[in-house]
Amino acid sequence: MPRWDAYQMQVDTGLFTPLGLQPTAVCRLGFNAAGRWLSEHALSHRRLVAEYQTGFVLWTAQLIFDEPVRYFDSDCLEMRVMGRVRGGGTQFECEVEVDSARGITTRMRACCVPLRLDGDPALSGAPARLGSGVMEAFRPDEIEVRPHRSPAPGLLAAILRDGTELARGMTPFVIHRHQCEVADQWYWPEAVSLASGGREQLVRVESSRIPVLRLALSTPLRRLDLLFNRPFFLFDEGAVLSSAHEWQGCLVFVHELVGVEGGEPRALAIEQFTTRLSGRVWN
């Protein structure tokens, strides 16, 4: 079985909203946990970049919230993390569990694609299979031939096919340095923050016409699916194209993050909420 690490993370109020643990915080904690696992059991991310000219770019992630993890549950979060190689060296996947003292668990599964770096300050590169020197750091039971498949494209198709669109809107943004990582490209959890902002703006504009949208400000998130195609860089301008849907009796938001030039979305975020609408869409 792949190796798991467990440790505690002190809580602070900045990790939470009144509804519970922030999805962006889960992504940041989860990414840090994956780096911790790599350092402990394989090679640190810094060594991978500096010595093996290998980087990782996030391709897809999924967050599942069993119940809200709240600030007053406990002084610490119990973190558990596991990592493995998939697709014969074409992917690195991690699973992260965030537990509270009440036994409530938030789960994150994220899959990265390895890059062979060009050596420039922007850490640019092209997708490439992990080299033998890196693969040797993983145990045989941490290497799986079968690749990870993102559920996001199929989920989006089902929502658009079977759901009912309730509202649509656009929220522009500019990427600034506090949203970036070391290569001056956005730090991927910012996609979650931008999508959340797009949802909140859509609710503000349309809730007088469709009151049920207010549930998206008072109901905890149940599931978040992310898919990344291309990063944003420092001072890039873009927009969040948000749409609200009734799908399978629940409220769902679809967010496409696009550049000012348009074209294929650079990132996709799909939010599913817990409360069932029960025919209240137009009430």
Token pair of 268, please? 């996709």
How many Å apart are CA 88 and CA 103, to the nearest integer? 35
Confidence of residue 279 (pLDDT cuts 50, 70, 90): low
Helix (H) or strand (E) holding 126: strand 125-127
pLDDT tens digits, 153-168: 999 999 999 999 999 9
What's the token pair of residue 272? 């599913």
User: How far is it, in rounded angstroms, from Cα 213 to Cα 254?
Assistant: 13
Across the chain, mean pLDDT equals: 94
Taking the chain, what is the end-to-end CA distance rounded to the nearest angstrom?
51
Domain covering 152-276 in this structure, CATH number: 3.10.129.10
3-state secondary structure 211-271: HHHHHHHHCCEEEEEEEECCCCECCCEEEEEEEEEEECCEEEEEEEEEECCCCCCCEEEEE
Q: What is the pLDDT of residue 158?
A: 98
Tell me: pLDDT of 281 over 60: no
**Average of per-residue pLDDT across 101-118:** 92
| Cβ-contact 75, 63 below 8 angstroms | no
- Whether 4-142 and 152-276 share one fold: the answer is yes
CA–CA distance from 178 to each of 33, 75, 186, 196 (Å)? Answer: 21, 28, 9, 17
For a pLDDT cut of 70, what percent of the chain falls above it?
Answer: 98
Specify the CATH number for 4-142; select among 1.10.630.10, 2.70.150.10, 3.40.710.10, 3.10.129.10. 3.10.129.10
Mode of pairing for the β-strands spanning 125-127 and 164-174: unpaired
**Angle between helix 45-52 and 23-41 (nearest 10):** 60
Q: Over 50: is that where the pLDDT of 71 sits? A: yes
Tell me the CB-side half-sphere exposure of residue 55, using CA atoms within 13 A. Answer: 18
Contact of 115 with 125, CB cutoff 8 Å: yes
What are the boundaries of each domain within the chain? 4-142, 152-276
Give the tens place of pLDDT for each residue, 210-244.
999 999 999 999 999 999 999 999 999 999 999 99
